[in-house]
Amino acid sequence: MIRANTAIAAMGIWLLTQSAAQASTVLFSEAFDGVFGSAGCSTGHGHGGGDHCSQTRQRYGVPTVSSGADQNWWGARFETPDNGTVPQDVGVAGSRTNAFALVEDDAGLLFQVDTRGYTDITLTFDWRTYSAYSNDRFVAGYYVGDLANDAGGFDSDRSIDLRGNGNPWNWNSTNSNWNELMRARDNYYWNSESFSLTLAGNQADVWVALWLDNGENDYGKFDNILVTGTAVVPVPAGVWLFASGLFGLSLAGRHKRL
């Protein structure tokens, strides 16, 4: 009888722990390849041959779904000085089959994710720098909160000024909603990164930012951005009732022995 009651209790505990049955979900993804068109590629055309898919292109401005991106993006100026508008310092380059984002001159790109109902938020992306000097850095971080309201709003170019009255925006502890993930430089190789956004779970507004600190005519490049989360799926009410019944049986058996 003791063994039976122990088994019943163990089964009840197991069922209750299944209230957090989990599944990984893609919350955001971007490869930029649609910015230069999705039509079929061809070769030749009597102009000396060559694969038209691989022709290098470049388009400045904040990428959006209407311009061929998979998702809508926003632009920002993070530090001073600058030598132009934000749309002049961000954009997309590459080819139809291998496009990537470009950022320079203390400017960068941001995207927004709604993580309500999800935990274990993970960000992955590829990055490198190009012609970056020793004091240039590619930076990634995220902000939890209503960025547009907190920082004065976006303009008609989908851009926002985050310099804070002319002072450098350095993701420091004076604003606990900002969280820097990395600050690095590599002119020679693409690197893949993965970060756990520990403060981003179950939030209506999470803003991820990728930008180049310093660097006029030096570039940060990034691609293949992916945000995933773990959805918590409640156990149906019938399972809770069954588990409660098992606990009741276990307790009744114990009281009999006493």
Mean pLDDT computed over every residue of the chain: 81
Output the pLDDT for position 170: 52
Residue partners of 246: CB distance under 8 A and separation at least 6: 8, 9, 11, 12, 15
Output the pLDDT for position 216: 84
Q: Tens digit of pLDDT for each residue in 149-199?
A: 888 889 999 999 888 654 445 554 456 678 899 999 999 999 999 999 999
Q: Torsion over CA of 193, 194, 196 and 202, rounded to 10 degrees?
A: 110
Output the pLDDT for position 5: 52
* Domains of the chain in sequence order: 20-257 (2.60.120.260)
Q: Is the pLDDT of residue 34 over 70?
A: yes
Confidence of residue 248 (pLDDT cuts 50, 70, 90): low
Q: Where would I find the H helices in 64-211?
A: 86-89, 147-150
